[in-house]
Structure 1
Amino acid sequence: MAIKITGTGSYIPDVVEKNEDFHQHEFLNTDGSSINHPNEIIVKKFKAITGIGERRYASEHLTSSDLGFFAAEKAIADAGIDPETLDYIIVAHNFGDVKHNTIQSDILPCLASRVKHSLRIKNPKCVAYDILFGCPGWIEGVIQAQAFIKAGMAKRCLVVGSETLSRVVDIHDRDSMIYSDGAGATIIEATEGDDGVLAHETASYTYDEAYYLHFGKSNNQTLCPDTKYIKMDGRKIYEFALTNVPQAMKNCLDKSGVAIQDVKKIFIHQANEKMDEAILARFYKLYNIDIPEDIMPMSIQKLGNSSVATVPTLFDLVKNNKLENQSLTKGDVIIFASVGAGMHINAIVYKY
């Protein structure tokens, strides 16, 4: 029995926010003091580090569960299945539905229930639940889905990653330029063959690292201190990722029994272009071989960091030949990997 991704879908919002759109922002240091550089310089340095030139924001009338529903519809159509046959719907997110111009997260009911409702699924035995696992949420959802299938508890699952990070950012924080909105979805099911999920790896580092990403007050000291926004310690996250993600990827690959030379694509969470490139370099250094050309697709330059949505969206784009110089062929061995709030790391070795 193989446990495979039989359908994919993604939703990329229409609203494009370019780097130049941040030239009029009032960026402040964490203590509220002014930054002694013009915004043009701040934005230029940001682009050089992250690789992000623009990002996507959801339309004002849409929420994260709406985006997840749109991606799910596409994945279901791509797989050619009856949604009533789904055993589980797993939705990964971080902040629930945050309506435009509000500050309150809404997760009652959970987003998976909302997606199931929007899909008009009547079957009560289709179980819908959310997973809060930081940016690695979609990958962890796939790991859970394959575990359900392997245990005989399910035959077919829908795993969605959806987020509207643009609604929980502090506009006075330079890091706000990183975040974006979007959704990706996949159908996971049992089929015949020797392909699909070959191995997986997950780890949670919480002793010293739990709060590298957290909710905190605005850099603007005049705003209400009780209103919280996504905050991060970028340097610590960068060092943490470089230390731990390549090793987790190696552990997963070694477990799968696949040789490093046989890996055709690596889909890493689109958090920061330089960080992802450094992770890739460190990973190949563990095997003492050179990095193959075009092995790591990237979407962050145009789509920004949409957290749980980055990996499934990127996979959907490559699978459907919508990313230049990137494609997949049946039998290709690929790696999915992510790192994020918690701090969590995970990876999957998958035969396409």
Structure 2
Amino acid sequence: MHIGITGTGSYIPTITTLNTDFINHTFLNTDGSPIPNSNEVIIEKFKKITGIAERRYAKKELNTSDIAYLAAERAIEDAKIDKETIDYIIVAHNFGDVTYGQTQADTLPSLATRVKHLLQIKNPKCIAYDILFGCPGWIQGMIQAYAFIKAGLANKCLVIGAETLSRVIDPYDRDSMIYSDGAGATIVENTENTGDILAHNAATFAHNEANYLFFGESYNKEENNNTRYIKMHGRKIYEFAVTHVPQAMKDCLDKSGVDINDVKKIFIHQANEKMDEAIVQRFYKLYNKPMPEDIMPMNIYKLGNSSVATVPTLFDLVKRGKLENHAVKKGDVVIFASVGAGMNINAIVYRY
């Protein structure tokens, strides 16, 4: 039995926001005090650390479930399957549908149910549910799809990662420049000749690390509307990620039996350019090897951090030849890896 990806699709929102668009923002410290540096300096430092030059936001009329549906349509078309034969629809997100201009997250019904409705799938045996697992949600959904198929409970699964983080950011927080919107989808099937999930690994660190990412108040202390926004302890996340993710990736690769020299690409969550580079460098250091050139496709500089959507979107773009100097061909071994709120870590070794 081979359990592989037979179709991919992504939705890249059409509104592009440049770093220079933040030039007139009022950025504040956590205590509400003004940041002494000019916005030019703040933006320059931000670009140097994160690698982000621009990001994409969804149009006002589109919610997370809408862009998830658009990515799903493309994946189904790419896989050339009858949508009525899908056994599971698994949608990874973190904030549900947040209508533009509103602050309340809407998850009733689930986003997966909404996607199924938009796809007009009539089959009641197609089970639709959501998964909350921080930024590693799409990879965790892939692991669950693999488990369903391997156990004989499914033949085809639709796994989606979608988010509209632009709706849950504090405009007074410098970190608001990191986040973006997007959706990526995959069809996972029991197949004879297309791809294979060779190994997977996952972990949750919640003893001291549970609240490294959280919902918190605006840095503008004059706001009294009790609205909460996505917040993070950036330094703690960085230290956590570079400490734990490389070993999790190594454990996964060792479990697969694949030699490190046979890995062709690493599709890592587009969280922060410097952090991602440090993770992959440390991963190779565990094998006493230097990080190969062009091993790690990156599109964070144009698309920003769209949480659960970054890995499936990146994979879809590379698969379709839309990322310069990067490609995958049949038989290539790649690694999917992510880290995020929870704190959760996961990885998959996949033969394309």
Alignment partners' CA distance in 1, 2:81 and 2:195: 20
SS at match of 2:112: helix
1:57 counterpart residue number: 57
2:25 counterpart residue number: 25
1:148 counterpart residue number: 148
**CA shift digits 1:175-228 (9 cap, x unpaired):** 000000000000000011494100000000000000000000000000126210
Alignment partners' CA distance in 1, 2:3 and 2:103: 40
1:268 counterpart residue number: 268
Alignment partners' CA distance in 1, 2:194 and 2:49: 40
2:105 counterpart residue number: 105
1:210 counterpart residue number: 210
SS at match of 1:123: coil
SS at match of 2:138: helix
1:285 counterpart residue number: 285
SS at match of 2:66: helix
Alignment coverage as a number of residue pairs: 352
Q: CA RMSD in A?
A: 0.7
Give the C-alpha shift of residue 103 in structure 1. 0.5
**CA shift digits 1:143-193 (9 cap, x unpaired):** 000100000000000000000000000000000000000000000000114
SS at match of 1:49: helix
C-alpha contact (below 8 Å) 2:4/2:194 kept by paired residues? no
C-alpha contact (below 8 Å) 2:203/2:346 kept by paired residues? yes
C-alpha contact (below 8 Å) 2:5/2:195 kept by paired residues? no
Give the C-alpha shift of residue 293 in structure 1. 1.3
Does residue 1:47 correspond to 2:47, yes or no?
yes
Q: Which runs of 5+ in 1 are unaligned?
A: none
Does residue 1:79 correspond to 2:79, yes or no?
yes
C-alpha contact (below 8 Å) 2:91/2:130 kept by paired residues? yes
C-alpha contact (below 8 Å) 1:217/1:225 kept by paired residues? no
C-alpha contact (below 8 Å) 2:6/2:194 kept by paired residues? no
1:174 counterpart residue number: 174
SS at match of 1:129: strand
One-letter identity of the residue aligned with 2:71: A
Show structure 1 runs of 4+ deviating over 4 A. none
SS at match of 2:148: helix
C-alpha contact (below 8 Å) 1:218/1:225 kept by paired residues? no
1:235 counterpart residue number: 235
Alignment partners' CA distance in 2, 1:337 and 1:169: 25
1:165 counterpart residue number: 165
One-letter identity of the residue aligned with 2:235: R
SS at match of 1:61: coil
**CA shift digits 1:103-156 (9 cap, x unpaired):** 000000000000000000000000000000000000000000010000000000
**CA shift digits 1:227-252 (9 cap, x unpaired):** 10000000000000000000000000
Alignment partners' CA distance in 1, 2:263 and 2:220: 47
One-letter identity of the residue aligned with 2:95: F
Alignment partners' CA distance in 2, 1:226 and 1:213: 18
Alignment partners' CA distance in 2, 1:225 and 1:342: 27
SS at match of 2:326: coil
Equivalent runs, 1:331-350 vs 2, <5 Å = 331-350=331-350
Does residue 1:221 correspond to 2:221, yes or no?
yes
Does residue 1:318 correspond to 2:350, yes or no?
no
1:137 counterpart residue number: 137
C-alpha contact (below 8 Å) 2:213/2:232 kept by paired residues? yes
1:258 counterpart residue number: 258
Q: TM-score, normalised by structure 2?
A: 0.99
One-letter identity of the residue aligned with 2:145: A
Give the C-alpha shift of residue 348 in structure 1. 0.1
Give the C-alpha shift of residue 322 in structure 1. 0.0
C-alpha contact (below 8 Å) 1:180/1:303 kept by paired residues? yes
Alignment partners' CA distance in 1, 2:48 and 2:328: 29
Q: What is the percentage of aligned positions where both structures have the same residue?
A: 70
1:123 counterpart residue number: 123
Alignment partners' CA distance in 2, 1:214 and 1:195: 37
Q: TM-score, normalised by structure 1?
A: 0.99
Does residue 1:201 correspond to 2:201, yes or no?
yes
SS at match of 2:158: strand
Q: Which runs of 5+ in 2 are unaligned?
A: none
Alignment partners' CA distance in 1, 2:149 and 2:266: 25
SS at match of 2:26: coil
